Amino acid sequence: MNTPETSGRRAVTATELFDRVEAILLKAGLHPVQAAAVTRVIVAAEADDCKSHGVYRIEGVLRTIEAGKVKADAEPALMPDEKPTIVRVNANGGFSNASFELGAPLLADRAKEYGMAALVINDCTHFAALWPEIEFLTALGVAAMAMCPSYATVAPAGGRYPLLGTNPFAFGWPRKNGNPYVFDFATSVVARGEVELLRRAGKKLPDGWAVDPDGQPTNDPEAALAGALLPFGGHKGSAISTMIELLAGIMIGDLTSSESLEQLGSTTLSPSHGELIIAFSPEAFADHRGRNPFSRAEALFEAIAGQGARLPSERRFAARANSEKHGLILDDTEFETLTRLEAASARR
């Protein structure tokens, strides 16, 4: 392996990282089904250079297990059909990831059969990026969107105090050749994980990201974490975030971000709530119009790129290609975290 060794950054293979992370989670008492699914998203985040949801998240996962705020031994259960287009999985208090893996193949089948379908995940703890889920679905040939609340750490536009979550929203469109079109972002200006990484690095926040506990603008990550982040795009991001509270909280009979924080009592643990994933069959929708949705989508993507703009996820896909060639790049802090957690595991 060609190992870049600049400024404390070294490569690890995906298999080695998977084995190390999974062993830590198993030792912490996580059910094997959950441990494997959680490990998959952490390794995927590192492979795609999405540091805010990679190795950095392991300690939060362990804290949540130790605090008894996630059911480590839970196994997700597919619920009996209510309607053919609503697939429901109960995480039974465990992490969301194994529930997604259980429900997603059926979601894709139902979307192909009925044109569209939804996967509802209830009673889950959620810490992950959404794009691995979107890519799983686009690989099965369906378009998909995913969303979930978080815990109240974002002030609504025009407000000053935490009420909404960082509420991620992701979408994907399958492409016959090459990588899918995917975007995945927090509806806050930036994910809270990014603010935490900037705090650790001793860096300031740009203007317009956050307010302090008194509702005053701040560039200090510490004050922002104690205060509130702001929605992206002002009232527009605020409305999308509110939609996510409605659809992926209230509509699916699960917690809103403020209810989740109230139940958890802390922003240092991973929040519990639900998640909503909706899948569409582009062919089914286009059928009666006799126009090929995939070739038309390609023309749109080419027109975007033709202006010199990049498609979302291009940075991630480039990082993934680099990881496949050179290994996954971790820095000293991430290696130190793994070693420290392994040592703590060995003492259990």
Query: Which residues are designated catalytic?
Result: 52-53, 194
The one among 20, 40, 71, 192 contacting ligand PYC by CB under 6 A: 192
The answer to whether 40 contacts ligand NDP (rule: CB under 6 A) is: no
CB 260 within 8 A of CB 152: yes
The answer to whether 256 contacts ligand NDP (rule: CB under 6 A) is: no
Neighbour count for residue 74 (Cβ, 10 Å): 22
Residue 37 binds: one of ligand PYC, ligand NDP, none (C-beta under 5 to 8 A by kind): none
Alpha-helical regions (H) of 201-292: 221-226, 235-245, 257-264, 282-286
The one among 17, 121, 155, 191 contacting ligand PYC by CB under 6 A: 191
Q: Which is nearer to ligand NDP, 298 or 314 (CB)?
A: 314
The answer to whether 150 contacts ligand NDP (rule: CB under 6 A) is: yes
- By CB under 6 A, how many residues form the interface with ligand NDP? 27
The answer to whether 186 contacts ligand NDP (rule: CB under 6 A) is: yes
CA 259, 261, 265, 269 torsion-angle sign: positive
CB 11 within 8 A of CB 322: no
- Considering only residues 103 through 142, tell me which ones interact with ligand NDP, judged by CB under 6 A: 126-131
Candidate ranges 100-108, 186-194, 232-240, 296-304; the one touching ligand PYC (CB under 6 A): 186-194
Residues 6+ apart with CB under 8 A from 32: 26
* Interior angle at CA 84, CA 83 and CA 89, nearest 5: 80
The answer to whether 275 contacts ligand NDP (rule: CB under 6 A) is: no
The answer to whether 186 contacts ligand PYC (rule: CB under 6 A) is: yes
- Considering only residues 298 through 317, tell me which ones interact with ligand NDP, judged by CB under 6 A: 310, 312-316
Residue 146 vs residues 6, 103, 273, 343: alpha-carbon distances, Å? 37, 13, 14, 36
For residue 25, give the nearest of 270, 198, 195 by alpha carbon: 270
Task: Using CB under 6 A, list all residues that contact ligand PYC.
Answer: 52, 127, 150, 166, 186, 191-193
